[in-house]
Structure 1
Amino acid sequence: MDLPPVGLGTMGIEDPDPVATALSVGYRHLDTARIYDNEGVVGEGLAAGLAASDSPSREDVTVATKLWIDDLAQAEVGPAARESADRLGVERLDLLYVHRPRGDYDPEATLPALDRLVERGLVRNVGVSNFEIEQLDRAIDVLDAPLAAHQTELHPLFYKPALLEHAREHGYTVVAYSPLAGGRVREIDAVVAVAEAHDAAPEAVAIAWATGKEPVVTIPKASSADHLRANLAAAELELSSEEIAAIDAVGREEELFPE
Structure 2
Amino acid sequence: MSQEDRGVRTIQLYNQVELPVLGLGTFKARGTALKAIVSCALSCGIRHIDTAGVYKNESEIADALEASGVPREDIFITSKIGPTQQGTGKALLACEEVLQRLRLEYVDLLLIHWPGVAKLEVKSTRNATKRLETWRVLESFYKSGRCRAIGVSNYEQQHLQELLDSAAVKPMVNQIEVHPRYPQRELREFCKQHSIAVVAYASLGCGDLLSHSTVQRAAQECDRTPAQVLLRWGLQQECAVIPKTIHQEYLEQYTAAQLLTWELSSSQLQALDAMDDAHKYCWNPAVVR
Query: 2:7 — aligned with what?
Result: none
1:230 corresponds to 2:217: no
**Per-residue deviation, 1:178:** 1.2
Query: 1:111 — aligned with what?
Result: 135
Query: How far apart are the structure 2 equivalents of 1:149 and 1:172?
Result: 5
Query: 2:58 — aligned with what?
Result: 39
What RMSD, in angstroms, separates the aligned Cα atoms of the two structures? 1.5
Give, as a single letter, the amino acid of the residue that structure 2 aligns with 1:157: R
1:58 corresponds to 2:80: no
Give, as a single letter, the amino acid of the residue that structure 1 aligns with 2:149: N
**Matched position secondary structure for 2:206:** helix
**Per-residue deviation, 1:222:** 2.2
Query: 2:19 — aligned with what?
Result: 3
Number of residue pairs matched by the alignment: 253
Query: How far apart are the structure 2 equivalents of 1:88 and 1:251?
Result: 38
Query: How far apart are the structure 2 equivalents of 1:89 and 1:134?
Result: 35
> Which of 24, 28, 31 lines up with 2:43 in the alignment?
24
Give, as a single letter, the amino acid of the residue that structure 1 aligns with 2:190: H
**Per-residue deviation, 1:111:** 1.4
Query: 1:141 — aligned with what?
Result: 165
Could you list the per-position Cα deviations for residues 147-183 of structure 1 after superposition, in whole angstroms to 9, with x for gaps in the alignment? 1110001112222101110121111210001111111
Between the aligned residues of both structures, percent identity stands at 30
More deviation, 156-165/127-136: 156-165
1:221 corresponds to 2:244: yes
Query: 1:202 — aligned with what?
Result: 226
Could you list the per-position Cα deviations for residues 36-84 of structure 1 after superposition, in whole angstroms to 9, with x for gaps in the alignment? 11111111111122x2xxx3x2112111111111111111111101111
Q: How does 1:81-160 map to 2 (within 5 A)?
A: 81-103=95-117, 105=127, 106=129, 107-160=131-184
Give, as a single letter, the amino acid of the residue that structure 2 aligns with 1:222: T
Give, as a single letter, the amino acid of the residue that structure 2 aligns with 1:63: I
Are 2:183 and 2:276, in contact at CA under 8 Å, matched by a contact in 1? no
**Matched position secondary structure for 1:95:** strand
Instruction: Return the TM-score normalized by structure 1.
Output: 0.93
**Per-residue deviation, 1:229:** 2.3
Query: 1:72 — aligned with what?
Result: 86
Query: 2:199 — aligned with what?
Result: 175
Query: How far apart are the structure 1 equivalents of 2:271 and 2:110?
Result: 35
Query: How far apart are the structure 1 equivalents of 2:63 and 2:183?
Result: 33
Give, as a single letter, the amino acid of the residue that structure 1 aligns with 2:86: L
**Per-residue deviation, 1:252:** 2.9
Query: How far apart are the structure 2 equivalents of 1:141 and 1:61?
Result: 32
Are 2:139 and 2:169, in contact at CA under 8 Å, matched by a contact in 1? yes
Are 1:159 and 1:252, in contact at CA under 8 Å, matched by a contact in 2? no
More deviation, 188-197/118-127: 118-127
Query: 2:5 — aligned with what?
Result: none
> Which of 259, 262, 267 lines up with 1:242 in the alignment?
267
Query: 1:12 — aligned with what?
Result: 28
Query: 2:4 — aligned with what?
Result: none
Query: 2:282 — aligned with what?
Result: 257
Instruction: Return the TM-score normalized by structure 2.
Output: 0.83
Are 1:9 and 1:219, in contact at CA under 8 Å, matched by a contact in 2? yes
**Matched position secondary structure for 2:40:** helix
Query: How far apart are the structure 2 equivalents of 1:109 and 1:234?
Result: 39
Are 1:204 and 1:237, in contact at CA under 8 Å, matched by a contact in 2? no
Give, as a single letter, the amino acid of the residue that structure 2 aligns with 1:89: R
Unpaired stretches in structure 1, ≥5 consecutive residues: none
Are 1:164 and 1:174, in contact at CA under 8 Å, matched by a contact in 2? yes
Query: How far apart are the structure 2 equivalents of 1:257 and 1:169?
Result: 25
**Matched position secondary structure for 1:26:** coil
